[in-house]
Structure 1
Amino acid sequence: MNERPPLALVLVSADPVRLRAALAFARAEVALGSEARIFLQGEAAALLRPPISAPQDAAWRAAGEPGLADLLDEALDDGVAISLCQSGLALAGFDASGLDRRIELSGPVAFLAAAGPHIRLLSF
């Protein structure tokens, strides 16, 4: 059994660079054998409005790395739990129908409850 406590990451701004970093850290945690979850709070929810992209995608692809949408898909495939603030969804002006079904709608209380009492919490 892995001794590492789960990693919970909270993203609070609509900055695709921060989302990329959170996805990278979450995937690294899963690769180490632990659990990771990301919560996009408030304005950060806009980052998941379809079609998902970032201004830096072309540069990342040129460097041999995936664009933001592909990185998100890889994180979900790896088992990273991703949840999105319901209020943030409304603030961003879109509904859940276009979201990947693996992304959950949630709130801070549900996110922290799912993460458990023994977590490492980071904010991006």
Structure 2
Amino acid sequence: MPVRGLTILVAADDGDRLHAALSFAAAGAARGDRVRLHLHELAVGLLRPPIRAPADADRARTGIPMLAELLEEVLALGVAVSVCQSGLALYEIDLATLDHRIEAQGPVGLLAAAGDDRLMIF
């Protein structure tokens, strides 16, 4: 029986929600699961420098990875990270300015790639 993967969709301009989504993506990838993470529209703005979440200072103080660190960890673990083309346009972000491991993808492409994967929405 084929193994189902995990597709995580972040649809809000909320750094702490993105941190939670990245945490689940990292956990799945560390388990050996196939994981993809997609930032939809407003969530794309969270990738503008500096990449940070409201609770990052508390995280740093307690040894929990901050948002930018967790994003790098997820990319290093091989999670397929994509961003909404509309979100790029909305925030006037050039894809070339983002990490080269992040790709642009629309809803149709994301759903086609997800197939039978489980879906989590943050």
TM over 0.5: yes
Which blocks of at least 5 consecutive residues in structure 1 are unaligned? none
Match of residue 33 from structure 1? 32
Rate the CA distance shift 1:25–1:4 in 2: closer, same or farther, 3 A: farther
The 1-side partners of 2:49 and 2:113 are apart by: 26
The 1-side partners of 2:109 and 2:50 are apart by: 27
The 1-side partners of 2:96 and 2:2 are apart by: 37
Cα RMSD over matched residues? 1.5
The 1-side partners of 2:118 and 2:110 are apart by: 13
Residue identity matched to 1:35: R
Which blocks of at least 5 consecutive residues in structure 2 are unaligned? none
SS in 2 for 1:71: helix
Identical counterparts, % of pairs: 49
Structure 1's consecutive aligned runs of 4 or more residues displaced over 3 angstroms after TM superposition are: none
The 1-side partners of 2:110 and 2:66 are apart by: 26
Preserved CA contact (<8 Å) 2:51 2:67: yes
SS in 2 for 1:82: strand
Match of residue 119 from structure 1? 117
Residue identity matched to 1:120: R
TM-score, length-normalised on structure 2?
Answer: 0.93
1:39-78 to structure 2, matched below 5 A, reads 39-78=38-77
Preserved CA contact (<8 Å) 1:50 1:99: no
Match of residue 103 from structure 2? 104
